[in-house]
Structure 1
Amino acid sequence: MHLSRAKADPRDPAALPRLLLTVLAIVLLWPGLVLTEFKPATLVESRNLDVFARFLAGFWPPDLSSDFLRLLGRATLETLAMATAGLALALLLAVPLSLLCSRALSVSALLTGRPAWLADMLRYPARLLLILLRSIPEIVWALLFVRAVGLGPTAGVLAIAITYSGMLGKVYAEIYESVDQRPARALLQAGSSRLAAFCYGILPTAAQELTSYTLYRWECAVRASVIMGFVGAGGLGQMIDLSIRMFAGGEVVTILLTFLLLVLAADQLSSLLRRRLA
């Protein structure tokens, strides 16, 4: 009798908690919408729609002239070089700092079950440095380096290297600690060095996740390179800035399509490498 009633009851037992969470989210979100003067109704006003339509009409057709495509190709290579060089410099700093921050290779944790307080104190400066590096956006670093080294990709490379070293170092350390620790512990117990324990105990199991995140950060670095071009760091961003200032909508849409192809190529490369490492 009771079973038949339970089956016939159409009420969702989780409906009330979900409703309360939804109401709570709206209550927390509403002050932010009021503070930012968020008014979506202005998007569908006739006057704004007319202005927006005329603005979009200026973006067609794309500029496919040979002179512009030659400049676009050079700027695309400059953007890719900026992102790749910045990420490579970031890895030089991120990998050692991630090893210093990680507890995965702690000998004291292997012997006692938890890291010694002295080891944690020694890791604290490395963690603090990673926080400092990633707390300042790359666009701010780019503004500073443009003043220091002048206009051009060098400022963008240094800005990406500093900010992304903090991001990569933090996530790498977390990846080391999230994988199976038993192979590395067995190597350490057998008298292996920490470097060997990392290379043969942790790196093989973490390689796919490390590769995936590194390629994702490279894709982000390409986007960041475009943004930093607006402050004089060169590349596609600087071309977009100049084209917008000259109201050359055809050039802008060609640059945006090129940037879309770059992101698609980065995504395909990431998928290919993940399949190879699986």
Structure 2
Amino acid sequence: MIAHPRDPLALRRASTLVLALIVLWPLLRLSKFHPAALFEAGNLKVAGSFLGHFLPPDASAEFLGLVAKATVETLAIATAGIALAFILAAPLATAMTRNLSVSRIGPGRGYRIRAVTRAGVRVVVLLLRGIPELVWALVFVRVLGLGPAAGVLALAITYGGMLAKVYTEILESSDARPAHALLGSGSPRLSALAYGLLPNAARELVSYTVYRWECAIRASVVMGFVGAGGLGQLMDQAMKMLDGGETATILVTFLLLVLLADALSAGLRKLLD
């Protein structure tokens, strides 16, 4: 009979699990998380009655036309917001990436100034991504009025900070030797980025950008509740009018939109393989 060797990391994994449970339990208590309440008879009756108001979905030609227009607007908000976020994130990530710093390959003039500059850019990126897009949407709705422009700018600012942070992490985790060789031979930073870092990091960068576009579609719907246009604004109007049929139609459209975004991102990832 063959004796199976004991997992040398079993004790460590068990200890980590126990520690996680010890930390998680008081957090669940503080958040008043009681999932059993969902299955109480009274609560199930209330939930069933509420969900019954959503049936049947509204399929009138007039409302479907409004939904189609709002769907196109939602896609436009998400796409334009991500495009502007990329334009904002690309130079910020280039400035923050230590693999593109000449001081990393040897002493040079102005390395202290460059270090301070990178720290300043990191603070800017922290401020951009630290404020939720919903807050920015509220600000821009007050400034620009109701409409998709507020949603585009809110996504551009918050997602610009997120993209810049993750782009920097991807570039810094890539093999830096080609970039350092180019910098050491006198190449400019953009050349070191294009020929030294991007060939190895391009797939991850594109994959994360597409993922953020999917998130932008979801976020644009949420921002519609504060007047930033798209499906969210249409849903807000339907819920205020207590029209469950219209709300159900918008929810189905939103689910189909998310599935479409997921299929497009999966296809693009296959092209990059």
TM-score (normalizing by structure 2) = 0.92
Match of 2:23 in 1: 28
Distance verdict in 2 for CA 1:117–1:33, change over 3 Å: same
Out of 231, 242, 260, the residue aligned to residue 236 of structure 1 is: 231
Structural mapping, 1:1-278, within 5 Å: 7=3, 14-111=9-106, 116-278=111-273
Question: Is 1:175–1:210's contact at 8 Å kept on the other side of the alignment?
Answer: yes
* Residue 259 (structure 1) shift: 1.2
Comparing 64-73 and 263-272, the one that deviates more:
263-272
* Residue 112 (structure 1) shift: 5.2
**Gap regions ≥5 residues in structure 2:** none
Q: Over aligned residue pairs, what C-alpha RMSD do you find? A: 2.1
Question: Is 1:59–1:253's contact at 8 Å kept on the other side of the alignment?
Answer: yes
**Structure 1: how far apart are the matches of 2:216 and 2:269?**
19
User: Which whole-Å deviations, capped at 9, do the CAs of 1:185-225 have from their partners, x for residues lacking one?
Assistant: 23223332221221122112211111100011111111110
Aligned-partner SS, 2:79: helix
Aligned-partner SS, 2:186: coil
Aligned positions, number: 272
User: Which whole-Å deviations, capped at 9, do the CAs of 1:22-79 have from their partners, x for residues lacking one?
Assistant: 3322222222222222222211111111111111122222211110110001100111
**Structure 1: how far apart are the matches of 2:22 and 2:243?**
44
**One-letter identity of the residue aligned with 1:47:** G
Aligned-partner SS, 2:208: helix
* Residue 161 (structure 1) shift: 0.8
**Gap regions ≥5 residues in structure 1:** none
**One-letter identity of the residue aligned with 1:184:** A
**Structure 1: how far apart are the matches of 2:204 and 2:257?**
22
**One-letter identity of the residue aligned with 2:150:** A
TM-score (normalizing by structure 1) = 0.90
Distance verdict in 2 for CA 1:49–1:200, change over 3 Å: same
Q: Percentage identity across aligned positions?
A: 58
Q: Which has the larger radius of gyration?
A: 1
